[in-house]
Amino acid sequence: MTTTPFEAFDAAAIHEGNKALGFDHDAIAEQTHELLGRMTLAQKINEIRGLQPEPIEGLYYAGGDDELGIAAWKMVDGPRGARTGKATAFPVAIARAASFDVDLERRVGKAIGLETLAKGGNVLLAPCINLLRHPGWGRAQESYSEDTHLTGAMAVAFVSGAQNHVLTSPKHLALNNLENTRFDLTSDVDARTLHELYLPHFKRCVVEAQAASVMSAYNRVNGVYCGEHPELLTDTLRRRWDFKGFVESDWFLGVRSTSESIKAGLNIEMPFGKFFSDKKIAAAIEAGELTDEDIDTAAYWSLYQKVAWSIEEGSVAGDSGSIAVVESDAHLDLAREAARKSFVLLKNSSDVLPIDRRSTRRIAVVGDLADTVNLGDRGSSMVTSTKVITPLAGLQAEAGDCDLRFFATDADFAELGEFDVTIVIAGLTYLDEGEFIPSAQAESDGDDLARGGDRDSLNLPTDQRDLIERAAAASSRCVVVLQGGSAIVVSDWLASVDGLLMSWYGGCQGGAALAQVIFGDADPGGRLPVSIPRSEKDLMEWDTQALAVPHDLLHGYRWLDAHQSTAEFCFGYGLSYSAFELNDLQVQRNGDGFVVTVSVANTGSVRATAVPQLYVSVQNSQVMRVPTELKGFASLELDADETRLVQFQVADEELCFFDEAVDDFRLEAADYVFRAGQNLVELPLLRHWRFDGSAWSETRPG
């Protein structure tokens, strides 16, 4: 047994190869100023806007000047793969967050960055890191979690992985967490909630992973459009975080003005210059609303990144990639690994899973989704792969001598009782949830352009519930495999099934990964990155047509805890094919923070994935505090009977609250309870520490 502790977040390994962490900023600044000094006003204006409304071979151009030898930005979505031509469709981001595996996310980011480069792109418009304030948000699938700590860790892993090859653009700054009304919505928030809950994951991307750009959001924050929000784009990004990247708008309606946007700190209007047109900028300068210096500042940050990354036609930092990497075996293997590590086993009565092929003769696979390509929404993050393995194809390929039969949703289920086990594939599709592009919705008469928008209900659609009820009633044993991009309320039919596996939108290899887990060739490694309530009534009010939404410190598990409401399945929850025990929690001071260790033992009979989690509760605080918050997690595979020491680092600044009186974070004299376990509600190991305002000391409970 290895004695070296497993580092929960190995920063050196996660950030390895991120080109932005090695830049010589003095040299870049000097070169950028020199270049800017040689440019005419027209050339500078050309640098601060996209080229045209439509992409060119899937790539959105911005800037570029042959005479000056300045290459264009070539931007491409998105969080689950390169959205141009065929590419590896990875599991959606929330699925990868369910793996709680930052190394895996780094590798996925790196692979998507490589495919982006190979396709001629140089800016990857990802990751999407808006919090799931409510799980009904249409683009929840595209983001990571309800929790800022999990979101931040996954996001920096993705950014550093992708920035091995191309620039990234964490999005959408900020509070873009309702879809249908995103163009008009105002997300209202006080400074403490903004800085303590909705910005930390953006800050990590900018400060820790040096994200090369950020995309501003469509919505308003406190009544001001994000594309013209000085507090977000200048005071927060530049003054507080020393951001050296550029800010591009979201597409079309992400810009609402000319001089207000540029003066607020927006650097590039995408996808083309409507407000940043020659005519409008000239009129703004003429009217004294804009100065040449304002244009210089906007152009500077875009040019700064072109200099930093040595952007040339078709290459980034001298590398142009190779088209052979696109949908390569290595990337398909990675997509399959990500899918199986994302699956969350929620119910497993009588160990109905895994299915033993030696003792199981007949398996029924039920539901149209089993034989459907269901990779997620059809918005800007959509990726099309050459080959997609559906659940049915995956199960058929691995069924061995089992007699596996498929039953469509409208089939007669009378003979299901003759099968040893029924596997129902049910859930949601892009018709139920996803990015909502009204023009496409209005124009689309076929189903290939539908956008689901936000979900009014967290329940399954009636036809899917009926499918499950009918199949379960006719079966001797019934397992439901759920597909979807967020929390789905299952309480009204959970008792009628024996097994439940959340498989999210599992990407082009999802069906192969599902077979690995169903037949026990791999353990379902996932845990919930979003709480699943017993009823949507247990969550805050959710109006998908709202035009003003108040944001506070309570949502997701924070809300449920504060309202003493028990989730059906809590944040961080997930079963395993094995069993684990955590012991010997140790919390020691280490510089400006803590090093926390816990022993994790696989007490079961098979190799499996453990996901130890660390939470902190602040007691005797002078301000309102949420009951407990995630401050650390790890994902590690352990053999049967293997024990490993897991080590977390918790910086003091992660224990601070945002004190509006000093407009900054502050470490409060209070009691801090470190709690370790396997999910939000199973935290048996405690350690108590007190900060008296100047020194820390370990205390005893009570």
Interacting residue ranges for ligand GLC, rule: CB under 6 A: 77, 125, 171, 250-251, 380
Sheet holding 246-248, edge to edge: 171-173, 213-216, 246-248
The answer to whether the peptide bond before residue 271 is cis (omega within 30 degrees of 0) is yes
Of residues 116 and 678, the one with the C-beta less far from ligand GLC: 116
Tell the smallest beta-carbon distance from residue 59 to ligand GLC (Å).
11
Q: Is 396 helix (H, G, I), strand (E, B) or coil?
A: helix
Catalytic residue among 147, 250, 368, 377: 250
Of residues 84 and 342, the one with the C-beta less far from ligand GLC: 84
Tell the smallest beta-carbon distance from residue 251 to ligand GLC (Å).
4
Tell the smallest beta-carbon distance from residue 355 to ligand GLC (Å).
39
Exposure of 235 by Cβ count < 10 A (0-12 exposed, 13-18 middle, 19+ buried)?
middle
Helix (H) or strand (E) holding 148: helix 148-162
What does the block give as tokens for 129?
């890191």
Of residues 440 and 681, the one with the C-beta less far from ligand GLC: 440
Of residues 182 and 631, the one with the C-beta less far from ligand GLC: 182
Of residues 187 and 464, the one with the C-beta less far from ligand GLC: 187
Specify whether the CB–CB gap between 76 and 59 falls below 8 A: yes
Distance (Å) of CA 579 to CA 220, 608, 639: 47, 8, 11
Of residues 47 and 248, the one with the C-beta less far from ligand GLC: 248
Look at the chain and count its residues.
Answer: 702
Q: How far apart are CA 353 and CA 350, in angstroms?
A: 8
Q: The tokens 């040096």 sit on which residue?
A: 210
Q: Which residue is nearest to ligand GLC (CB)?
A: 380
In the chain, count H helices and then E strands.
19, 30
Expressed in angstroms, the distance from the first to the final Cα of the chain is 37
Q: Is 212 helix (H, G, I), strand (E, B) or coil?
A: coil
Tell the smallest beta-carbon distance from residue 77 to ligand GLC (Å).
5
Q: How far apart are CA 405 and CA 510, in angstroms?
A: 19
Tell the smallest beta-carbon distance from residue 438 to ligand GLC (Å).
11
Tell the smallest beta-carbon distance from residue 75 to ligand GLC (Å).
8
Specify whether the CB–CB gap between 635 and 105 falls below 8 A: no
Tell the smallest beta-carbon distance from residue 436 to ligand GLC (Å).
10
Q: How far apart are CA 643 and CA 270, in angstroms?
A: 52
Is residue 250 annotated as a catalytic residue, yes or no? yes
Specify whether the CB–CB gap between 528 and 571 falls below 8 A: yes
Q: Is 674 helix (H, G, I), strand (E, B) or coil?
A: strand
Sequence letter at residue 165: H
Residues 6 or more apart whose Cβ sits within 8 Å of residue 157: 14, 102, 103, 105, 106, 109
Q: How far apart are CA 82 and CA 59, in angstroms?
A: 10
Of residues 87 and 389, the one with the C-beta less far from ligand GLC: 87
| CA triple 114-512-355, angle to 5 deg | 150
Of residues 77 and 337, the one with the C-beta less far from ligand GLC: 77
Distance (Å) of CA 270 to CA 84, 217, 275: 17, 12, 10
Q: How far apart are CA 475 and CA 158, in angstroms?
A: 42
Tell the smallest beta-carbon distance from residue 542 to ligand GLC (Å).
21
What does the block give as tokens for 666?
């502050």
Of residues 251 and 571, the one with the C-beta less far from ligand GLC: 251
Tell the smallest beta-carbon distance from residue 182 to ligand GLC (Å).
8
What residues are annotated to the active site?
250
